[in-house]
Amino acid sequence: MLKTKKYNYLNSQDKLNIKKLFSILEKLSTKHPYLVILILHEYYRSLYSFDPYIKFKIQDPSKRIKKLIKELINFATLSFKIGSYNIKLERKFFFRDHKNEFEEIKKKTGNVYGPLWKRFKKINNLEAIKLLKNRLPSNNLFKNKIVLDAGCGGGRYSYAITRLGAKKVTGIDFGDLGLKIAKKNYGKTKNLNFKKGNVLNLPFKDNSFDTVFSNGVIHHTTDLKKGISELVRVCKPGGNIWLYLYSTGGIFWYSRNLMNKLMKKIPYTLSEQFLRIMQMPDNRFIFMDNWYVPIEQHCSHKEVYKYLRKLNVSKIKKFFGRNKFDLDYSLKKFKNSEFIWGEGEIRFLIQK
Protein backbone atom coordinates (compact mmCIF):
# COMPACT_ATOMS: atom_id res chain seq x y z
CA MET A 1 0.00 0.00 0.00
CA LEU A 2 1.36 3.44 -0.92
CA LYS A 3 0.95 5.68 2.06
CA THR A 4 1.52 9.40 2.42
CA LYS A 5 -0.14 11.11 5.24
CA LYS A 6 2.27 14.03 5.49
CA TYR A 7 0.84 17.29 4.28
CA ASN A 8 4.10 19.14 3.79
CA TYR A 9 4.45 22.73 2.51
CA LEU A 10 1.89 23.76 5.16
CA ASN A 11 3.09 26.12 7.86
CA SER A 12 2.14 25.27 11.41
CA GLN A 13 -0.03 28.37 11.95
CA ASP A 14 -2.17 27.65 8.88
CA LYS A 15 -2.47 24.04 9.95
CA LEU A 16 -3.57 25.11 13.41
CA ASN A 17 -6.21 27.49 12.05
CA ILE A 18 -7.60 24.86 9.70
CA LYS A 19 -7.72 22.32 12.53
CA LYS A 20 -9.56 24.86 14.67
CA LEU A 21 -12.11 25.50 11.92
CA PHE A 22 -12.78 21.80 11.47
CA SER A 23 -13.08 21.11 15.18
CA ILE A 24 -15.72 23.89 15.49
CA LEU A 25 -17.52 22.55 12.41
CA GLU A 26 -17.58 19.06 13.88
CA LYS A 27 -19.43 20.39 16.93
CA LEU A 28 -21.70 22.51 14.76
CA SER A 29 -22.60 19.49 12.63
CA THR A 30 -24.97 18.16 15.30
CA LYS A 31 -26.65 21.53 15.90
CA HIS A 32 -26.79 23.21 12.48
CA PRO A 33 -25.58 20.67 9.90
CA TYR A 34 -26.88 22.81 6.99
CA LEU A 35 -24.58 25.64 8.15
CA VAL A 36 -21.65 23.26 7.97
CA ILE A 37 -22.62 22.50 4.38
CA LEU A 38 -22.87 26.24 3.63
CA ILE A 39 -19.50 26.94 5.23
CA LEU A 40 -17.71 24.06 3.55
CA HIS A 41 -19.18 24.99 0.19
CA GLU A 42 -17.66 28.45 0.61
CA TYR A 43 -14.39 27.01 1.86
CA TYR A 44 -14.06 24.37 -0.85
CA ARG A 45 -14.75 26.72 -3.75
CA SER A 46 -12.22 29.19 -2.33
CA LEU A 47 -9.47 26.59 -2.34
CA TYR A 48 -9.26 26.95 -6.13
CA SER A 49 -7.67 29.91 -7.86
CA PHE A 50 -10.66 30.28 -10.13
CA ASP A 51 -14.42 29.98 -9.69
CA PRO A 52 -16.45 30.11 -12.91
CA TYR A 53 -19.72 30.80 -11.05
CA ILE A 54 -19.10 33.14 -8.10
CA LYS A 55 -16.41 35.77 -8.56
CA PHE A 56 -13.78 36.13 -5.85
CA LYS A 57 -13.57 39.56 -4.24
CA ILE A 58 -9.92 39.02 -3.33
CA GLN A 59 -7.90 37.69 -6.26
CA ASP A 60 -4.70 36.78 -4.40
CA PRO A 61 -5.46 33.18 -3.30
CA SER A 62 -3.05 33.31 -0.38
CA LYS A 63 -4.66 36.40 1.17
CA ARG A 64 -8.15 35.20 0.34
CA ILE A 65 -7.83 31.73 1.85
CA LYS A 66 -6.11 32.88 5.03
CA LYS A 67 -8.70 35.63 5.57
CA LEU A 68 -11.56 33.24 4.82
CA ILE A 69 -10.38 30.64 7.34
CA LYS A 70 -10.47 33.26 10.09
CA GLU A 71 -13.86 34.59 8.98
CA LEU A 72 -15.36 31.11 8.83
CA ILE A 73 -14.06 30.35 12.33
CA ASN A 74 -15.87 33.49 13.55
CA PHE A 75 -19.02 32.69 11.60
CA ALA A 76 -19.14 29.10 12.85
CA THR A 77 -18.50 30.23 16.42
CA LEU A 78 -21.31 32.80 16.26
CA SER A 79 -23.67 30.19 14.78
CA PHE A 80 -23.66 28.30 18.08
CA LYS A 81 -25.74 31.14 19.52
CA ILE A 82 -28.56 30.43 17.09
CA GLY A 83 -31.21 28.15 18.59
CA SER A 84 -31.71 24.70 17.12
CA TYR A 85 -34.21 21.85 17.40
CA ASN A 86 -33.24 18.41 18.48
CA ILE A 87 -31.82 17.34 15.13
CA LYS A 88 -31.76 13.63 14.44
CA LEU A 89 -29.39 12.85 11.61
CA GLU A 90 -29.88 9.81 9.44
CA ARG A 91 -26.58 7.92 9.66
CA LYS A 92 -27.53 4.91 7.59
CA PHE A 93 -25.44 6.07 4.65
CA PHE A 94 -22.21 5.64 6.54
CA PHE A 95 -20.37 2.80 8.07
CA ARG A 96 -17.70 1.92 10.54
CA ASP A 97 -14.27 0.72 9.59
CA HIS A 98 -14.66 -0.21 5.97
CA LYS A 99 -11.01 -0.55 5.00
CA ASN A 100 -11.33 -4.11 3.85
CA GLU A 101 -15.00 -4.60 3.23
CA PHE A 102 -14.97 -4.58 -0.55
CA GLU A 103 -18.71 -5.06 -1.06
CA GLU A 104 -19.45 -2.22 1.33
CA ILE A 105 -16.93 0.09 -0.37
CA LYS A 106 -18.38 -0.81 -3.76
CA LYS A 107 -21.90 0.00 -2.62
CA LYS A 108 -20.99 3.27 -0.94
CA THR A 109 -18.76 4.41 -3.81
CA GLY A 110 -21.60 3.61 -6.22
CA ASN A 111 -24.02 5.59 -4.03
CA VAL A 112 -21.77 8.63 -4.28
CA TYR A 113 -20.97 8.56 -7.98
CA GLY A 114 -24.19 7.18 -9.49
CA PRO A 115 -26.24 10.32 -8.73
CA LEU A 116 -23.35 12.51 -9.93
CA TRP A 117 -23.31 10.91 -13.37
CA LYS A 118 -27.07 11.27 -13.53
CA ARG A 119 -26.72 15.02 -13.13
CA PHE A 120 -24.09 15.39 -15.82
CA LYS A 121 -25.78 16.85 -18.87
CA LYS A 122 -24.78 16.04 -22.43
CA ILE A 123 -22.94 19.36 -22.62
CA ASN A 124 -20.85 18.47 -19.53
CA ASN A 125 -20.07 15.13 -21.09
CA LEU A 126 -18.99 16.75 -24.32
CA GLU A 127 -16.63 19.00 -22.37
CA ALA A 128 -14.66 15.81 -21.71
CA ILE A 129 -13.38 15.90 -25.31
CA LYS A 130 -12.08 19.44 -24.80
CA LEU A 131 -10.53 18.51 -21.47
CA LEU A 132 -8.78 15.49 -22.98
CA LYS A 133 -7.39 17.52 -25.87
CA ASN A 134 -6.12 20.15 -23.47
CA ARG A 135 -4.61 17.73 -20.97
CA LEU A 136 -3.14 14.95 -23.07
CA PRO A 137 -0.07 14.96 -25.31
CA SER A 138 -1.66 14.23 -28.70
CA ASN A 139 -4.19 12.17 -30.57
CA ASN A 140 -1.64 9.42 -31.13
CA LEU A 141 -2.48 8.05 -27.75
CA PHE A 142 -5.88 6.93 -29.01
CA LYS A 143 -5.95 7.02 -32.80
CA ASN A 144 -6.56 3.47 -34.12
CA LYS A 145 -5.79 2.07 -30.68
CA ILE A 146 -7.46 -0.53 -28.50
CA VAL A 147 -8.14 1.38 -25.30
CA LEU A 148 -9.21 0.57 -21.76
CA ASP A 149 -10.91 3.26 -19.66
CA ALA A 150 -10.34 1.87 -16.17
CA GLY A 151 -12.96 3.29 -13.78
CA CYS A 152 -15.10 4.84 -16.52
CA GLY A 153 -17.92 6.14 -14.27
CA GLY A 154 -20.66 7.55 -16.51
CA GLY A 155 -18.50 6.92 -19.58
CA ARG A 156 -17.75 10.54 -20.57
CA TYR A 157 -14.07 9.87 -21.30
CA SER A 158 -14.71 6.46 -22.88
CA TYR A 159 -16.95 8.24 -25.35
CA ALA A 160 -14.50 11.14 -25.81
CA ILE A 161 -11.76 8.60 -26.62
CA THR A 162 -13.90 7.07 -29.38
CA ARG A 163 -14.31 10.60 -30.78
CA LEU A 164 -10.53 10.94 -30.81
CA GLY A 165 -10.28 8.05 -33.24
CA ALA A 166 -9.82 4.92 -31.11
CA LYS A 167 -10.35 1.57 -32.82
CA LYS A 168 -12.08 0.04 -29.81
CA VAL A 169 -12.78 1.33 -26.29
CA THR A 170 -13.78 -0.69 -23.25
CA GLY A 171 -15.00 1.17 -20.18
CA ILE A 172 -14.92 -0.73 -16.93
CA ASP A 173 -16.32 0.24 -13.54
CA PHE A 174 -17.84 -1.50 -10.52
CA GLY A 175 -20.65 1.03 -10.10
CA ASP A 176 -24.02 -0.23 -11.40
CA LEU A 177 -25.71 3.15 -11.76
CA GLY A 178 -22.71 4.71 -13.53
CA LEU A 179 -22.62 1.81 -15.98
CA LYS A 180 -26.36 2.05 -16.59
CA ILE A 181 -26.03 5.76 -17.40
CA ALA A 182 -22.96 5.13 -19.57
CA LYS A 183 -24.88 2.50 -21.54
CA LYS A 184 -27.93 4.74 -21.85
CA ASN A 185 -25.90 7.72 -23.11
CA TYR A 186 -23.29 5.99 -25.23
CA GLY A 187 -24.37 2.37 -25.58
CA LYS A 188 -25.02 2.79 -29.28
CA THR A 189 -21.58 4.20 -30.06
CA LYS A 190 -19.69 2.04 -32.49
CA ASN A 191 -16.55 0.42 -31.03
CA LEU A 192 -17.49 1.27 -27.46
CA ASN A 193 -18.54 -1.20 -24.82
CA PHE A 194 -18.96 -1.11 -21.06
CA LYS A 195 -18.20 -3.87 -18.61
CA LYS A 196 -18.65 -4.37 -14.88
CA GLY A 197 -15.44 -5.13 -13.01
CA ASN A 198 -12.94 -4.25 -10.33
CA VAL A 199 -9.88 -2.21 -11.30
CA LEU A 200 -7.92 -4.02 -8.59
CA ASN A 201 -8.47 -7.27 -10.42
CA LEU A 202 -9.04 -6.43 -14.07
CA PRO A 203 -10.84 -9.18 -16.01
CA PHE A 204 -8.38 -9.02 -18.93
CA LYS A 205 -5.33 -10.99 -19.95
CA ASP A 206 -1.85 -9.47 -19.70
CA ASN A 207 -0.90 -7.13 -22.59
CA SER A 208 -4.48 -6.67 -23.87
CA PHE A 209 -4.59 -2.93 -24.62
CA ASP A 210 -2.54 -0.43 -26.65
CA THR A 211 -3.55 2.38 -24.30
CA VAL A 212 -4.83 2.25 -20.76
CA PHE A 213 -6.55 5.37 -19.48
CA SER A 214 -7.41 5.85 -15.82
CA ASN A 215 -8.71 9.19 -14.66
CA GLY A 216 -9.22 9.77 -10.95
CA VAL A 217 -9.94 6.20 -9.96
CA ILE A 218 -7.08 4.35 -8.28
CA HIS A 219 -6.93 6.78 -5.31
CA HIS A 220 -10.48 5.66 -4.46
CA THR A 221 -9.45 2.03 -4.04
CA THR A 222 -8.02 0.27 -1.00
CA ASP A 223 -4.76 -0.52 -2.75
CA LEU A 224 -2.96 2.06 -4.89
CA LYS A 225 -0.07 -0.27 -5.69
CA LYS A 226 -2.29 -3.10 -6.85
CA GLY A 227 -4.36 -0.67 -8.91
CA ILE A 228 -1.30 0.75 -10.66
CA SER A 229 0.18 -2.70 -11.27
CA GLU A 230 -3.10 -3.87 -12.83
CA LEU A 231 -3.08 -0.95 -15.28
CA VAL A 232 0.49 -1.80 -16.26
CA ARG A 233 -0.26 -5.54 -16.50
CA VAL A 234 -3.07 -5.19 -19.06
CA CYS A 235 -1.11 -2.72 -21.21
CA LYS A 236 0.89 -4.08 -24.15
CA PRO A 237 4.69 -3.67 -24.02
CA GLY A 238 5.45 -0.34 -25.70
CA GLY A 239 1.86 0.79 -25.08
CA ASN A 240 0.87 3.83 -23.02
CA ILE A 241 -0.86 4.34 -19.70
CA TRP A 242 -2.45 7.65 -18.81
CA LEU A 243 -2.74 7.90 -15.05
CA TYR A 244 -4.38 10.71 -13.12
CA LEU A 245 -4.14 10.61 -9.32
CA TYR A 246 -4.67 12.99 -6.46
CA SER A 247 -1.47 14.26 -4.97
CA THR A 248 -0.59 15.67 -1.58
CA GLY A 249 0.71 18.66 0.39
CA GLY A 250 -0.60 22.14 1.06
CA ILE A 251 -3.85 23.54 2.42
CA PHE A 252 -5.86 22.09 -0.46
CA TRP A 253 -5.12 18.39 0.08
CA TYR A 254 -5.00 18.73 3.84
CA SER A 255 -8.46 20.30 3.82
CA ARG A 256 -9.85 17.71 1.43
CA ASN A 257 -8.73 15.03 3.85
CA LEU A 258 -10.51 16.80 6.72
CA MET A 259 -13.67 17.47 4.67
CA ASN A 260 -13.84 13.81 3.66
CA LYS A 261 -13.81 12.84 7.34
CA LEU A 262 -16.14 15.54 8.65
CA MET A 263 -18.87 15.28 6.04
CA LYS A 264 -19.37 11.61 6.88
CA LYS A 265 -21.21 12.99 9.93
CA ILE A 266 -23.77 14.76 7.78
CA PRO A 267 -26.12 12.68 5.62
CA TYR A 268 -25.58 12.76 1.87
CA THR A 269 -29.25 13.53 1.23
CA LEU A 270 -29.15 16.61 3.47
CA SER A 271 -26.10 18.00 1.62
CA GLU A 272 -27.70 17.22 -1.70
CA GLN A 273 -30.93 19.03 -0.75
CA PHE A 274 -29.11 21.98 0.75
CA LEU A 275 -26.85 22.47 -2.28
CA ARG A 276 -29.94 22.31 -4.44
CA ILE A 277 -31.61 25.02 -2.37
CA MET A 278 -28.45 27.08 -2.93
CA GLN A 279 -29.02 26.43 -6.66
CA MET A 280 -25.50 25.14 -7.12
CA PRO A 281 -25.00 24.18 -10.79
CA ASP A 282 -25.28 20.47 -11.57
CA ASN A 283 -21.71 19.89 -12.69
CA ARG A 284 -20.50 21.30 -9.37
CA PHE A 285 -22.06 18.44 -7.45
CA ILE A 286 -18.58 17.01 -7.81
CA PHE A 287 -17.99 18.64 -4.38
CA MET A 288 -20.01 15.72 -3.04
CA ASP A 289 -17.40 13.39 -4.48
CA ASN A 290 -14.76 14.51 -1.97
CA TRP A 291 -17.24 14.85 0.89
CA TYR A 292 -18.73 11.39 0.64
CA VAL A 293 -16.47 8.99 -1.22
CA PRO A 294 -15.50 6.18 1.20
CA ILE A 295 -11.82 6.23 0.25
CA GLU A 296 -9.75 9.17 -0.98
CA GLN A 297 -6.00 8.57 -0.81
CA HIS A 298 -3.39 11.26 -1.42
CA CYS A 299 0.09 10.28 -2.53
CA SER A 300 3.28 11.99 -3.61
CA HIS A 301 4.77 11.99 -7.10
CA LYS A 302 7.90 10.39 -5.68
CA GLU A 303 6.05 7.38 -4.33
CA VAL A 304 4.28 6.73 -7.61
CA TYR A 305 7.53 7.15 -9.59
CA LYS A 306 9.26 4.75 -7.26
CA TYR A 307 6.58 2.13 -7.59
CA LEU A 308 6.34 2.45 -11.37
CA ARG A 309 10.12 1.94 -11.62
CA LYS A 310 9.73 -1.27 -9.66
CA LEU A 311 7.25 -2.40 -12.30
CA ASN A 312 9.98 -1.85 -14.90
CA VAL A 313 8.05 0.54 -17.11
CA SER A 314 10.25 2.09 -19.75
CA LYS A 315 9.25 5.80 -19.56
CA ILE A 316 7.39 8.07 -17.17
CA LYS A 317 6.54 11.59 -18.21
CA LYS A 318 4.83 14.14 -16.02
CA PHE A 319 2.17 16.35 -17.57
CA PHE A 320 0.89 19.63 -16.19
CA GLY A 321 -2.81 20.47 -16.14
CA ARG A 322 -3.49 23.46 -18.34
CA ASN A 323 -7.12 24.11 -17.51
CA LYS A 324 -7.90 27.04 -15.23
CA PHE A 325 -9.14 24.81 -12.44
CA ASP A 326 -6.19 22.40 -12.63
CA LEU A 327 -3.98 22.86 -9.58
CA ASP A 328 -0.82 22.79 -11.72
CA TYR A 329 -2.12 25.80 -13.61
CA SER A 330 -2.63 27.69 -10.34
CA LEU A 331 0.79 26.65 -9.01
CA LYS A 332 2.37 28.12 -12.10
CA LYS A 333 0.30 31.28 -12.10
CA PHE A 334 0.85 32.16 -8.42
CA LYS A 335 4.45 32.12 -7.22
CA ASN A 336 5.25 30.31 -3.94
CA SER A 337 1.78 28.81 -3.78
CA GLU A 338 2.91 25.29 -2.84
CA PHE A 339 1.62 25.96 0.65
CA ILE A 340 -1.87 26.06 -0.90
CA TRP A 341 -1.78 23.39 -3.60
CA GLY A 342 1.17 21.26 -2.49
CA GLU A 343 2.35 19.01 -5.31
CA GLY A 344 -0.68 19.82 -7.47
CA GLU A 345 -2.02 16.73 -9.24
CA ILE A 346 -0.38 13.60 -10.61
CA ARG A 347 -0.70 13.29 -14.38
CA PHE A 348 1.65 10.67 -15.77
CA LEU A 349 2.05 9.30 -19.23
CA ILE A 350 3.75 5.96 -18.76
CA GLN A 351 5.20 3.78 -21.47
CA LYS A 352 5.38 0.09 -20.67
Ligand X SMILES: C[S@@+](CC[C@H](N)C(=O)[O-])C[C@H]1O[C@@H](n2cnc3c(N)ncnc32)[C@H](O)[C@@H]1O
Where do contacts with ligand X occur on this chain (CB under 6 A)? 109-110, 113, 151-153, 156-157, 173-175, 178, 198-200, 215-217, 220-221, 289
- Between CA 103 and CA 349, with CA 218 as vertex, the angle to 5 degrees is 160
We find the least distance from the C-beta atom of residue 280 to ligand X, in angstroms, to be: 18
- Between CA 12 and CA 102, with CA 290 as vertex, the angle to 5 degrees is 115
We find the least distance from the C-beta atom of residue 31 to ligand X, in angstroms, to be: 32
- Cβ proximity to ligand X, 182 vs 331, nearer residue: 182
DSSP-H helix ranges across the chain: 12-31, 33-46, 61-79, 102-119, 122-135, 156-163, 176-186, 224-234, 250-262, 268-277, 287-292, 301-310, 327-333, 338-341
| Torsion sign across C-alpha atoms 190, 127, 240, 150 | negative
We find the least distance from the C-beta atom of residue 109 to ligand X, in angstroms, to be: 5
- Cβ proximity to ligand X, 173 vs 210, nearer residue: 173
- Cβ proximity to ligand X, 22 vs 113, nearer residue: 113
Largest Cα–Cα distance of the chain, in whole Å? 64
- Cβ proximity to ligand X, 215 vs 330, nearer residue: 215
We find the least distance from the C-beta atom of residue 349 to ligand X, in angstroms, to be: 16
We find the least distance from the C-beta atom of residue 345 to ligand X, in angstroms, to be: 13
DSSP 118-129: HH--HHHHHHHH
- Cβ proximity to ligand X, 162 vs 221, nearer residue: 221
- The Cα–Cα gap between 8 and 51 comes to 25
We find the least distance from the C-beta atom of residue 221 to ligand X, in angstroms, to be: 4
Any residues with CB less than 8 A from the CB of 50 and at least 6 apart, and which?
A: 324, 325, 330
On whether the CB atoms of residues 147 and 157 are closer than 8 A, the answer is no
- Cβ proximity to ligand X, 113 vs 285, nearer residue: 113
We find the least distance from the C-beta atom of residue 175 to ligand X, in angstroms, to be: 3
When CB distances to ligand X are compared, the closest residue is 153
- Cβ proximity to ligand X, 7 vs 157, nearer residue: 157
On whether the CB atoms of residues 277 and 41 are closer than 8 A, the answer is no
We find the least distance from the C-beta atom of residue 57 to ligand X, in angstroms, to be: 31
- Cβ proximity to ligand X, 72 vs 346, nearer residue: 346
The amino acid at residue 60 is: D
Q: How many Cβ atoms from other residues are within 10 Å of residue 87's Cβ?
A: 12
Please tell me what DSSP assigns to residue 264: G
- The Cα–Cα gap between 218 and 225 comes to 9
